[in-house]
């Protein structure tokens, strides 16, 4: 099967950036399980992991997903109907229709992984950007989610009461107007709806 590459900013299809930290793995799995084979968008996942950890999330999702799961490479074009999960050592950004992938294991870089991805998606995709904040600690992702909101994209946040660690979703809701708040299952359904709208 020939996979469709995403082109310039004006041609970009929906890009869904997902940020999660502590307690986020099962939530990510729920969302990926709900994506249909014809999901017409690109999903890029940023999760906080130790630099020495292997990309087990990619292996887990590749066995479960109904669409292809890939690890982004520097200067590689985004593919529509695909899920991307960066290596634990890499900072992943979206620039136009391509990835910028740089190895950086510094503590500051690890903390900024979600924000850096979200900001880049906001800049590259504008109104065709979707930011999703799931379970995690502290305020990671708030700056990036605000960038997506200001670019005219959609902001989806897990209900803090249903998150294993509620700090990330609570801080997101306190600082950014959310377009949707709900359970992970409800967020997955909303993502699919938005993809169909676009």
User: What is 173-192 written as a DSSP string?
Assistant: HHHS--SEEE-HHHHHHHHH
From 47, 48, 125, 166, active-site residue? 48
Q: Does the structure show a pLDDT above 70 at 111?
A: yes
Question: Which residue blocks in 17-92 are alpha helix, DSSP H?
Answer: 25-34, 56-64
Q: Supply the pLDDT for residue 108.
A: 84
Concerning whether 140 is annotated as a catalytic residue, the answer is: yes
The reply to whether 21 belongs to the active site is yes
* pTM of structure: 0.92
Catalytic-role residue among 87, 90, 116, 140: 140
| Rounded percentage of the chain residues whose pLDDT exceeds 90 | 80
Quick: pLDDT tens for 55-105. Answer: 788 999 999 999 999 999 999 999 999 999 998 889 999 998 999 999 988
Q: How many CA atoms lie within 13 A of 186 on its CB side?
A: 10
**Active-site position among 21, 47, 88, 98:** 21
Name the more confident of 127 and 3: 127
* Tokens read off for 71: 């690890």
**90 is known as an active-site residue:** no
**Which 3 state secondary structure label does DSSP give 130?**
strand
Indicate the pLDDT class of residue 168, thresholds 50, 70 and 90. very high
CA dist 101 and 148 (Å) reads 20
Q: Which residues contact 179 (CB under 8 A, 6 or more apart)?
A: 154, 155, 156
Share the mean pLDDT of the chain.
91
Q: Hey, what are 156's tokens?
A: 């989806």
Q: How confident is the model at residue 197 (pLDDT cuts 50, 70, 90)?
A: confident
């Amino acid at each position: 099967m020939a996979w469709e590459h995403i082109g310039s900013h004006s041609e970009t299809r929906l890009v869904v950036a997902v940020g999660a930290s502590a307690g986020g793995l099962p939530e990510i799995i729920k969302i990926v399980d709900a994506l249909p084979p014809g999901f017409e968008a690109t999903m890029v996942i940023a999760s906080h992991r130790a630099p020495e950890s292997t990309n087990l999330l990619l292996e887990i999702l590749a066995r479960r997903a109904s669409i292809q799961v890939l690890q982004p490479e520097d200067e590689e074009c985004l593919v529509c109907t695909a899920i991307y999960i960066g290596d634990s050592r890499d900072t992943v950004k979206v620039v136009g229709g391509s990835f910028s992938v740089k190895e950086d294991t510094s503590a500051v870089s690890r903390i900024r992984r979600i924000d850096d991805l979200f900001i880049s998606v906001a800049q590259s995709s504008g109104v065709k950007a979707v930011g999703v904040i799931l379970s995690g600690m502290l305020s990671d992702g708030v700056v990036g989610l605000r960038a997506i909101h200001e670019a005219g994209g959609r902001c989806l946040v897990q209900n803090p009461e249903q998150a294993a660690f509620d700090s990330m979703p609570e801080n997101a809701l306190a600082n950014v107007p959310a377009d949707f708040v709900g359970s992970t299952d409800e967020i997955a359904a909303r993502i699919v709806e938005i993809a169909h709208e676009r």
